Structure 1
Amino acid sequence: MTASNISNNRKGVEAAMAGNHIEAEKFFRQAIKENETAIEGCMNLIRLLHMQGRHAETISAFKELQINVQIEKIHPQILYMVTQSALDIGDQKIAIQNLSVLSPQHPGNSEIQCMLSEAFIKSGRLVDSQKLLERVIQLNPEDPSIATQLAITESELGNYNKAEKIHKQLVGKFENAFLSHFNYGLFLANIGETKRALRCFERCKQIVPNAPEAQEQIEKLIQNESNGLTEIYQDIEKKYWVEAEKKLRKNKEVIEPIQFWAAVNELPKENQQKLGSIQAFDAEIQIRIVELYSVSEKEKFLAELVDNVKNAESLIWNRAGKPTRHGLQSHEILNGSQSTAIQDLCRRLKEASLDYIKNKPLLQKIRNQKKGNKELSGWSVVLKKGGHQKRHIHPESIVSGVVYIQLPKESANEEKKEGNLVFPSNNMKMVTPKEGMAVIFPSYLAHETVPINSNEERICIAFNWT
C-alpha cells in the first residue's frame, strides 16, 4: 500500500470522525482509485455508505471489494453491514451469500441465523430454512427466536399442525413474553382464526400496555367492523343501493382505498357515478390483455417458468387464507428470484404495469395515497381437476394481474368456459386464457375463475404491483 494511499485513508477516517462525510467519501474513493488493492479504503467506504443509508451504493462498493478479497477473509462487521443493506433493498442473493459465511462462524447468534432463515424464505428456499433452523435449534434449544422462526417456516411449508404446536409450546413456556403471543397471533390470523388471534394480541397488550404493534393487528382484524364495510356489503347483498352509497361516502376516509373502490364496484352504475367515474369500473376499459412473448420466445420461456413453478418449495395444497381451491399456491416466487426466466418475466411485467397505469387517474391517485413504490411481487397457482379461484380482490396492491404459462386444452378453447378468468361485477367480463398472455387490471376489481374439469394442470403466475 502506497504512502499516499495510507494518507488518503487516514484523511478519510479523520473527516468521517469530524462528521464531514462528503470529504471522507472523496478521500476513500481516491484511495481506491490510486491503488486497486486498497482494501482498507474500500472497507471504510462501505462503512460510510452503510451509515448514511446508501444501501445500493454499499452493495456496489462491496462487489468491488470482492474482486480483490475472498469473502471468507472479509471482516465479519463488513459482511454484516452489507447484509443489512442487501436486506433493505431486497437483494436476497447478497444477503444469503454473506449470511452463509457468518452463520457457521457464529452458531450461537440467533439474530444471524434468523436473518438467514428469512432470506431463505423470501427466496422461496423453505427447505433450506427448515434444515438450518432444525440444526441450530439443537445448539440453542432454549432460544425462543429460533423456535419462532422454525414455526414460521413450517407454516410457509403448509405444515400448520407443526407450526401451531411450536407456537403453543412457546406461549406455554414464555407466558409473559410479548413476542410469543404476538407471533402466535400472526399465525392464527393467517389461517383465518380471527377470534383466537384477537385473544393473542389482547394478551400482548396486557404484557406491554398500549403496545402499538399489537394494537395495529387488532385494528386490522376488526377493520371491516369499525369502518362499516360489513354493513355496506350487507346492504349490497340486499340491494339497498342508496344506503350502501351513503355509508360508503360517510366512511370513505377510514376505508382503505382499494377496499373502498371494490365496494363501489358492486353498486349499479347510477350509484357508482355519484362516487366516482364510471370508467373506473368499466371492465372493457380497465382490463388489459398483453401478449408478453413472441411466438418464437414462448417455447423457451414458458417451459422454464413451468420448471420454476414446479420446483417451488412453497407450493402447497389449498394454502391457508388464500382463494385457491383444489389446487396448489406458492409463496413469493418473483421477488429475489435468481432464475433468468423469472427475472425476464419481472422486467416484462414492470414495463407492462407502468404502461398500463399511465392513463388510469384513479389508480395514480390510489398509488399516491398508498405511497406505492413500484414493487412487483407474485406467486404461482397450479389448479387440478375441479380447481378454481374463489372471488377476491387484492387490497394490498394497486395493479394486479395473471400470466398463463400452461393450460389444459379445454381452458384455451374460447367456446368453453373452463378455467376462464371472470370479473363478475357490473357488465361482467370473461377472459379466455392463452399461454404467454398476461391480464392486467385494477386491484379493486373482484375476480374469480371457472372451475376446470380436466386432468391436465392449469398453471399461472399471479402478480401485484404497488
Structure 2
Amino acid sequence: MAESNHRQDQLNSAMSSHRSGNLKVALEGYKRYLEAAPNHLEICSLAAEAAFGLKDFEQAAELLGRIAKAQPTNPQAHFNLGVSLKESGQLKMAEKAFHRALGLKPSYSAAQFQLALLLTAQGDRGSAVEAFRQVIDSDPENVEALSNCAVLLKEMGRLNESLSFHRLAVGKRPDHPGLNYNYGLALELTEQFERAAAAFQKAIDNDPKFVLALSSLGRVMGHLGRHKDSVECYRKGLGLSPSSGNLKSQLGVALHAAGSFEDAIDAHRDAIALDPASVDYLCAYGYTLTAAQHHEDAIKIFDRALHLKPDHHEAYSRKALALEALGRGKEIITDLRSAVAKHPDIVNLRLSLARTQLHTGDAAGALETCDDCLAKQPASTAALAFRSQALRELGRVEEANALTDLDALILPVKTSHPAGFQTMEAFNAALISHILKHPTLLKDPPGHATKGGLHTGELLIEPKGPFDDFEKTINAAVVRYKQQLRHSADHPFVAHQPKRWTLNVWSVVLEAGGHQVPHIHRGAWLSGVYYAKVPEVVRRSGNSRAGWIEFGQPPEKLNPTAPPELREICPEEGLMVLFPAYFYHRTVPFDADGTRISIAFDIVPFGES
C-alpha cells in the first residue's frame, strides 16, 4: 500500500511539473512511473507529450509506439507515432505509420497532409503532389496544402498547374505575405513580370520588412526595364539588411543596368568586401568594369574569380570580352578551348569561343565551333550569325549569302490601322504618346545597341494602351511572314520556325546623331521593326541613307575583313520590316534635326517548335 501511494505521489508530482511547464522533470517522473506499469497508455501519452515538447523525438516515438501497438485499430495512435518518427528522422517508418492511419481512416486529412510533407522531404515530388491533392479534395480550405502543392509543381516544371494552386491559396488568404511571395516567384518563372511585381508588392505591403520580397521585386523591375525602381527596391532591402552581400551585388547589377557605372562599381566592391570568395560577386563586378571601359581592371577581377574557381565558364566568357576590347583576344583562346572541353554542353561558352576566333582572324576555327554549337542548338541566333560571317571571311560567299539571304528573308510590310483608330496617323500618335510617357524610357541603356538615343523596356505590360492593338498587328504579320516563306525546308531558319511564340516589344527614340550599332537579337527566331515617326530628313536622305536601316554589316568587334553583302531600307511611317533575328542590322546615323521613333520586337519560340 505504501509503495502504491509513493508511486501515486510521484505521478502527481510529474503531472504538476508538466502543468507548470517543467517538462524535463515531468518526463523523468513519468518514466519512473512507467518502469512499473510500462503499458499504462494514458501515462505513455503524457510522457510522449513531454518528450515532444523537449524535442526528444526518439523518446516520444518509443512511447507512442507502445500506444500504437496496444491500439492497432486506432488511426490517431498511428498518426501520432508517424509525426514523432518523422521528426526523429525515421522517415520510412513514419511513412508506414501514416499509411496505417489512412488504411484505418481513408478520410484522415491530417495524416494525408503529414504523409505529403514526408514524401516531399524524401524527394518523391510526384507522390507528394498526389497526397496534397487528396488533402485538398477532402479539405478545399487547407491553404497550407494548396501552397505546398503549388511549390512542388513549380519545382517539377508544371508551371501552369502551379499557378492555379497559387491563385487558389492567395484567394483564400489574400493578405498573407508568404503566399503572395511564392505566387510572385511562380509568375516570374513564367515571365509574367508585371503580375509577379504586383504579387511581390502585395507581400511587401503586408510585411514591409520582407527582405526577400523586396529583393525579388527589384529583380522583376529589372526584367521590366524599370531599373530606377529596381535600384530603389535593393536600397530598401539594404536598409533592413545592411550586411547582405547578395543585396549589394544585386544593387550593383541594377545600377549597371541604369547606366550608373561608378555607383555600381562601389556597390560591387561593398559586396566583395563582405564575401571576398564569391565568384558570382566578382563576375558581376568584372562585367561592370568592362562596361565602364576599365578593361585592365576587369581582367584582374576575372583572373581572381578563376583563381577561386578555375572552371567557372562565365568568368572565361566575360574575360574574353574585356581582352577583345583591348585587342588581346588571342590570350584567352586556349583557356576558352579548355573551358569548352570541361563544359561541352554549355553552348554560350562555345559562342564566346567562336566570337573570339572571329575577332582574332581564325575564321576556320570559328566555323568549326559554330557547327558544334548548331549541332547542340540548331536554332542558335548567335551561332548562325557567326557562321555566316566565318563563311564570308573564308571566301565562301555563296554559302554565306544562302544562309543570310537578305532578299528572300527580309519582308517589308505596309500595315493598316486597327479598327479602333480612324487613321494610321491617329494610331501612330497614340503609340508615340505611350512610348514617350513610358516609365522604362532610358537614355543609352547599357548592353543595348542604341547610341545617342532613348530606349524603353518591355511595352507589352499593363497598361498596354495602344500596344494591345499593336500586339495583334505583329502577330498577324508574323503569320503572313511564315506563310510566305519560300526557302527550302532544310534551311536552318525555315526548319526551326516555331509553332508558338511570345513577343518582346520595345521602342527606340533617336534624335540627330543617334543610331544603333550592328547587332543581332539573341534568343529570338524572327525580329522586326515598325516606324511610328520618321523625320523628313530621313525620307529625303537619298544616297546618304541617313536614318535608314541597314542589314549585313557585322560589328567592328569581330574585326571583319571581307566585304559585306548589304541591303538598306528607307523607313516610312506605318512600315513594318520583318527579318531573321540572326541578321546583323544597324541604323545609319543622321545629323539633321528631327525625331525618329521605331518599335522593335522579337518573336521568341515558346514550347515545342
* TM-score bin, normalised by smaller chain: 0.7 to 0.9
| TM-aligned CA deviation for residue 230 of structure 1 | 5.8
SS at the partner of 1:390?
strand
| TM-aligned CA deviation for residue 121 of structure 1 | 1.8
Q: How do 1:178-327 and structure 2 match up within 5 A?
A: 178-218=279-319, 225=330, 226=333, 227=353, 232=358, 246=364, 249-253=367-371, 256-264=382-390, 266=392, 271-273=396-398, 275=399, 278-294=401-417, 297=421, 298-299=424-425, 301-327=427-453
SS at the partner of 1:391?
strand
Q: Aligned letter for 1:289?
A: P
| TM-aligned CA deviation for residue 39 of structure 1 | 5.6
Which residue of 521, 535, 547 maps to 1:419? 547
1:131 aligns with 2:232: yes
Change (3 A) 1:229 1:52: closer
Change (3 A) 1:450 1:179: closer
Identify the residue that residue 157 of structure 1 maps to in structure 2. Answer: 258
| Structure 1 residues 220-274: Cα deviation after superposition (integer angstroms, max 9, x where no partner) | 7669653465665676xxxxxxx95x55544443575133234057469x7233x
Q: Aligned letter for 2:159?
A: H
| Structure 1 residues 387-429: Cα deviation after superposition (integer angstroms, max 9, x where no partner) | 2222333355442222222222333458573321122555532
Identify the residue that residue 13 of structure 1 maps to in structure 2. Answer: 113
Change (3 A) 1:354 1:183: farther
Distance 1:89 1:203 in 2: 35
Q: Aligned letter for 1:447?
A: H
Q: How do 1:335-374 and structure 2 match up within 5 A?
A: 336=461, 338-353=463-478, 356=481, 359=485, 361-364=490-493, 374=501
Distance 2:392 2:245 in 1: 46
Gaps of 5+ in 2: 1-105, 334-352, 374-381, 554-563, 605-609
Gaps of 5+ in 1: 1-5, 236-242
For the Cα contact (< 8 Å) 2:366–2:387, is it kept in 1? Answer: no
Distance 2:116 2:218 in 1: 34
| TM-aligned CA deviation for residue 118 of structure 1 | 0.7
Identify the residue that residue 333 of structure 1 maps to in structure 2. Answer: 458
Change (3 A) 1:402 1:28: farther
For the Cα contact (< 8 Å) 1:413–1:432, is it kept in 2? Answer: no
Identify the residue that residue 240 of structure 1 maps to in structure 2. Answer: none
Computed over aligned residues only, the root mean square deviation of the Cα atoms, in angstroms, reads 3.9
Q: Determine which structure has greater relative contact order: mean sequence separation of CA pairs < 8 Å that are 6+ residues apart, divided by chain length.
A: 1
For the Cα contact (< 8 Å) 2:533–2:598, is it kept in 1? Answer: yes
| Structure 1 residues 316-350: Cα deviation after superposition (integer angstroms, max 9, x where no partner) | 333344332322233x3246554243354345434
Distance 1:228 1:125 in 2: 33
Alignment coverage as a number of residue pairs: 441
| Structure 1 residues 353-411: Cα deviation after superposition (integer angstroms, max 9, x where no partner) | 4654563543447859xx99944334321111122222333355442222222222333
Q: Aligned letter for 1:446?
A: Y
Identify the residue that residue 511 of structure 2 maps to in structure 1. Answer: 384
**Paired-residue identity, %:** 21
**Radius of gyration: which is bigger?**
2
Distance 1:432 1:92 in 2: 35
SS at the partner of 1:59?
helix
Identify the residue that residue 338 of structure 2 maps to in structure 1. Answer: none
Identify the residue that residue 50 of structure 1 maps to in structure 2. Answer: 154
Distance 1:214 1:419 in 2: 37
Which residue of 529, 533, 537 maps to 1:410? 537
SS at the partner of 2:371?
coil
Distance 2:521 2:264 in 1: 26
Distance 1:324 1:247 in 2: 31
SS at the partner of 2:511?
strand
| TM-aligned CA deviation for residue 16 of structure 1 | 3.8
Distance 1:111 1:372 in 2: 37
Which residue of 417, 436, 450 maps to 2:574? 436
For the Cα contact (< 8 Å) 1:191–1:321, is it kept in 2? Answer: no
Identify the residue that residue 71 of structure 1 maps to in structure 2. Answer: 174
Normalised by the size of structure 2, how large is the TM-score?
Answer: 0.62
Q: Aligned letter for 2:297?
A: R
Change (3 A) 1:46 1:9: farther
SS at the partner of 1:376?
strand
Normalised by the size of structure 1, how large is the TM-score?
Answer: 0.78
